[in-house]
Amino acid sequence: MRDGQWWRAWTIGVAWAVGCASSLAPPAAQVLRAGDAAPGDVIAFDQWFLPDTMRVDYFHSGNATEDRIALDRVLRDGGWAGRRTRLTETLALGLYQLQVHDQQSGRLLFAAGFCGVFGEWQTTAPAKTQWGTFHASLRFPWPRRSVDVSIQRRSEGTWRELWRTSIDPDSRFAQRFDAPTDAHVWVVQEHGAPADKLDLVFLGDGYTAEESEKFHRDVQRMTEIVFSVEPWRSRRHDCNVRAIDVVSPESGVTRPHAHAFVRTALGCQFSAFDLERYALLFDNRALRDIAAAAPYDNLVVVLNSPHYGGGGIYNDQMTVAANTPFADYILVHELGHHVAGLGDEYYVAPVAYETGLTPRVEPWEPNLSALLAPQGVKWQDLVTPGTPVPTPWGKEAYEAAARESQRRREETLAAHGDGAEFAAVLREERATLTRLLAANQFAGHVGAFEGAGYETQGLYRPAIDCLMFSRNDMKYCAVCRRAIEQVLDLQTGR
């Protein structure tokens, strides 16, 4: 799972509103691009920033047609672990974009793409009639002098400014907390300074003090899972991995569908947006305050639960249930969302979002296409020679088999829960669909296969099968691998 497709919010017409104490009027729509620095403009990190992290906490409120943002606080959030070169590049990813401008000159100093829980909420059915509020954070290197901080949001081929505020880093309101000293941070693998690597940090939720050794084993196991899959395997030395021991008063994770409620340190729960398998954290402040003990680019929250589920939102948060038989798949799938902004390629399984809408612009996710780009498909350079675009793939036969499997899954889940019987159904489904897809003449090719991003028609994925499409195989397609490598290149300064 990841932030709901951004074109859906715009199909129903989002009304923009500036929400914080800022006297600056929002500018006109900007041409959509990665940041707005002049070509060749290089930002010297030490000239503009200190090696600390500035964290801007805010509340994002609204419904399907409105946005409001209110500042919560500005604080020091530990040392800066992010990139120190290519500071204004975003790889054109994310529903939102953080921009940090020097207040005196107006020069763009830092930019980063991201998604958020609010963006997901806005595409759900309840958002049409209800108001929701979610806490979130912006993180960037600590500026040496006053800056204007803004959030941009996509609008059919342009960025529109959603919110802006001014920050004086020397103000008494910019709180310089020390990093937590009582947190137990331990190194899983370290291959260099945080500024030169992609830094993953694992935290646990639902692990009691007596289960700390289990958390350590789960983290070690999941680290090996990640780095057994390309391109992570080849780029292992470009990544640092740390973990923070987080002790919960009770064991397990809340599951509202099962009427099972557990007090945990981070408050994660299944049934996010009423989808049973979707697990998210809604106490962002608690998560960020604990995570500040370690340098990080991306956070992975390991859930002490045997129940199938997890979630991943680009540059925001990620969860994975550690004890399910399908933890390997969930981990690597959700990491694709969280680190590289990959979109879900499946379209038969039920989701929390409104579907059935035809995109009017090309999706931003690197592995989804509406074939609206001038070249036909955004990954045209990777298309296997001789492969037609769009690519025929036996779509009707797959849908019939997948819907029958979905029916059996739902029956088993209702009768037995997501235990051994449910896992058996998933394994049988995997075997059946693997055989069906592998028999296609374009299996293993890169093309444009219709059916992706929760949409039966109008959206295309690069390969007939991929980790972002099914549980069938622990492999990313060539397009998804490249997207992950591009993020690794950006984070490591390549």
- Report the C-alpha gap between 389 and 380 in whole angstroms: 9
Residue 320 backbone dihedrals phi, psi, to 5 degrees: -150, 130
Question: Residue 21: what pLDDT?
Answer: 36
Same fold, 6-172 and 184-341: no
The residues that bridge with 111 in the sheet, in sequence order, are 99
Give the pLDDT score at 179: 67
User: For 6-172, CATH number?
Assistant: 2.60.40.3250
Is residue 333 within a helix (H) or strand (E), and if so which, with residue range?
Answer: helix 327-340
Cross-strand pairs, 167? 147
Res 6: pLDDT: 35
Helices (H), 34-153: 45-48, 117-121
> What pLDDT score does 174 carry?
87
Q: Which two tokens stand for residue 127?
A: 């958002």
Architecture, CATH, for domain 184-341: 3-Layer(aba) Sandwich (3.40)
Cis peptide before 143 (omega within 30 of 0): no
Gap between the Cα atoms of 176 and 291, Å rounded: 16
Q: Are strands 198-205 and 239-245 parallel, antiparallel or unpaired?
A: parallel
Pairing between strand 198-205 and 298-303?
parallel
For residue 162, report the phi and psi dihedrals to the nearest 5 degrees. -95, -35
Strands 317-321 and 310-313: antiparallel
Query: Computed from CA positions of residues 253, 221, 239, 229, in that sequence, does the dihedral angle turn out positive or negative?
Result: negative
Residue ranges covered by each domain of the chain: 6-172, 184-341, 380-487
pLDDT score of 55: 97
DSSP string, 19-68: -SS--PPPPPPEEPSS--PPTT----HHHHEEEEEEEEEEEEEE-SSBEE
Buried b (16+ CB within 10 A) or exposed e, 114-141: bbbbbbbbbbbeebeeeebebbbbbbbb
Q: Give the pLDDT confidence score for residue 150 in this predicted structure.
A: 98
Predicted pLDDT of residue 177: 76
Please, how many CA atoms are within 13 Å of residue 368, restricted to the half-sphere of its CB? Answer: 31
Rg of the chain on CA atoms, in Å: 22
The one-digit pLDDT tens for each residue of the chain (494 residues) are 544 443 333 332 233 323 333 333 333 334 444 454 554 578 999 999 999 999 999 999 999 989 999 999 999 999 999 999 999 999 999 999 999 999 999 999 999 999 999 999 998 999 999 999 999 999 999 999 999 999 999 987 789 999 999 999 999 888 887 766 678 999 999 999 999 999 999 999 999 999 999 999 999 999 999 999 999 999 999 999 999 999 999 999 999 999 999 999 999 999 999 888 999 999 999 999 999 999 999 999 999 999 999 999 999 999 999 999 999 999 999 999 999 999 999 998 766 555 556 666 889 999 999 987 777 799 999 999 999 999 999 999 999 998 888 888 888 888 888 888 888 888 888 898 999 999 999 999 999 999 999 999 999 999 999 999 998 877 999 999 999 999 999 999 87
Cα 372 to chain center, whole Å?
A: 24
